[in-house]
């Protein structure tokens, strides 16, 4: 089976890895405008899915999240964990606005530890916080994980093609199956008006003394990574197309993070990064669609619209997308 996967970010790579496990003799080609400049490269990579994250049903949403966590946790237990950029991390989320801000229906159900903080823990950071939760989760260092995933795919015979795709129909005629993991690109490829960019910006700093992550509400976060590099954030600019670095956002991020953890004032800035999260109003789209031209009809599996939770949920939606692909093969074999 000749399969094309459109999109070279975490969703596309995760889908290709899952597909190769299910269809070992398949010939997979990943087509992407870039493999090095994706939103996945900007993400801090902490496994945390908001309560608002949604698939078509709560049952399917839970399956995506649970399958994703188990996938990363299985990697964490192997000798490849460091190469793959997967490790455990623990930390806090604090809030002043409402106790609801520190609750999370998905994470409380899934993670090994998710509890209220003690009065003493509320004083760990500056700011006079009223509410807090402590939890242990998984960290995906995407600067390591994405190259690791690409290398595994190349060794398994997957072909990576850097090319801009202007129409899914131009791909379907050359492949038995197409899986669309194009993220924000699906606005044009699928004419999907439900896709909205949410601009993000983070600052990477050298802060090897930070071993624990901290959230102040959901607006400010400090997430330790590999090699002593820490991600400071963040920005959520709804419906913004701007990928230019904004010094005002950088100053705001630094000010808020230093207010939370004063020792960050001495942290050296490594770089600033921006990206556009592919948020889809309603729910993430993982479904089948028949695409026809004057000569033939082909099935396309869509897998896009993860918003800011692509790194967290890509393995789960990938598994679901591959199940849909298997269904198309069963349907074809009966014809």
Convert the pLDDT of each residue in 95-131 to its tens digit.
Answer: 998 999 999 999 999 999 999 999 999 999 988 899 9
The pairing of beta strand 195-206 with beta strand 237-238: antiparallel
Residue 43 predicted with pLDDT over 90: no
CB-based contact 150:35 (threshold 8 Å):
yes
Q: Could you tell me the pLDDT band of residue 174, with boundaries at 50, 70 and 90?
A: confident
Rg of the chain on CA atoms, in Å: 20
Report the C-alpha dihedral over residues 41, 136, 116, 63, rounded to 10 degrees: 80
Q: Could you tell me the pLDDT band of residue 219, with boundaries at 50, 70 and 90?
A: confident
Region 139-167: what's the mean pLDDT? Answer: 95
Identify the pLDDT of residue 162. Answer: 95
Identify the pLDDT of residue 39. Answer: 87
Cα–Cα distance for residue pair 53/46, rounded to 1 Å: 15
Identify the pLDDT of residue 335. Answer: 42
Identify the pLDDT of residue 218. Answer: 80
Region 289-317: what's the mean pLDDT? Answer: 90
Q: Superfamily for 2-333? A: NAD(P)-binding Rossmann-like Domain (3.40.50.720)
Backbone angles phi and psi of 186, in degrees to 5: -70, -15
Domain ranges, ordered by start, for the chain = 2-333
- The sign one gets for the Cα dihedral 159, 160, 163, 169 is positive
DSSP string, 194-221: TEEEEEEEEEEEE-TT--SEEEETTTEE
Residue 63 predicted with pLDDT over 60: yes
Residue that wins the pLDDT comparison between 36 and 218? 36
Identify the pLDDT of residue 125. Answer: 92
Residue 157 predicted with pLDDT over 80: yes
Q: Could you tell me the pLDDT band of residue 163, with boundaries at 50, 70 and 90?
A: very high
CB-based contact 208:228 (threshold 8 Å):
yes
CB-based contact 274:244 (threshold 8 Å):
yes
Segment 243-287, tens digit of pLDDT: 999 999 999 999 999 999 999 999 999 999 999 999 999 999 999
Provide, rounded to the nearest whole percent, the portion of the chain with pLDDT above 90. 83
Please state, rounded to an integer, the average pLDDT across all residues of the chain: 93
Q: Could you tell me the pLDDT band of residue 164, with boundaries at 50, 70 and 90?
A: very high
Residue 333 predicted with pLDDT over 70: no
- The sign one gets for the Cα dihedral 61, 51, 137, 41 is positive
Q: Could you tell me the pLDDT band of residue 41, with boundaries at 50, 70 and 90?
A: confident
Of 33-37, 85-89, 292-296, minimum mean pLDDT range: 292-296
Region 54-70: what's the mean pLDDT? Answer: 97
């Amino acid at each position: 089976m000749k399969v094309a996967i459109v999109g070279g970010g975490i969703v596309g790579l995760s889908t290709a890895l899952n597909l190769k496990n299910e269809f070992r003799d398949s010939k997979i080609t990943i087509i992407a405008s870039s493999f090095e400049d994706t939103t996945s490269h900007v993400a801090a990579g902490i496994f945390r899915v908001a309560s608002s994250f949604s698939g078509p049903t709560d049952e399917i949403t839970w399956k995506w999240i649970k399958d994703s966590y188990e996938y990363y946790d299985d990697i964490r237990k192997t000798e490849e964990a460091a190469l793959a950029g997967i490790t455990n991390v623990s930390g806090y989320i604090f809030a002043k606005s409402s106790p609801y801000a520190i609750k999370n229906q998905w994470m409380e159900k899934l993670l090994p530890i998710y509890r209220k903080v003690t009065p003493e823990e509320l004083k760990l950071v500056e700011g006079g916080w009223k509410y807090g939760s402590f939890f242990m989760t998984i960290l995906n260092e995407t600067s390591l994980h994405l190259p690791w995933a690409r290398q595994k795919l190349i060794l398994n015979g997957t072909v990576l093609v850097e090319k801009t795709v202007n129409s899914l129909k131009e791909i379907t005629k050359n492949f038995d199956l197409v899986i669309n993991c194009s993220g924000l690109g699906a606005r044009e490829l699928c004419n999907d008006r439900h896709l909205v960019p949410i601009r993000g910006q983070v600052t990477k700093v050298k802060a090897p003394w930070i071993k624990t992550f901290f959230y102040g509400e959901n607006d400010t976060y400090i997430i330790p990574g590999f090699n002593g590099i820490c991600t400071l954030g963040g920005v959520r600019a709804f419906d913004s197309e701007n990928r230019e670095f904004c010094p005002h956002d950088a100053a705001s991020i630094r000010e808020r993070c230093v207010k939370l953890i004063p020792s960050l004032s001495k942290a050296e800035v490594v770089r600033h990064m921006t990206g556009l999260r592919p948020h889809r109003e309603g729910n993430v789209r993982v479904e089948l669609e028949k695409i026809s031209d004057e000569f033939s009809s082909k099935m396309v599996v869509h897998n896009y619209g993860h918003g800011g939770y692509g790194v967290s949920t890509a393995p789960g939606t990938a598994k679901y997308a591959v199940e849909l692909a298997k269904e198309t093969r069963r349907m074809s074999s009966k014809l």
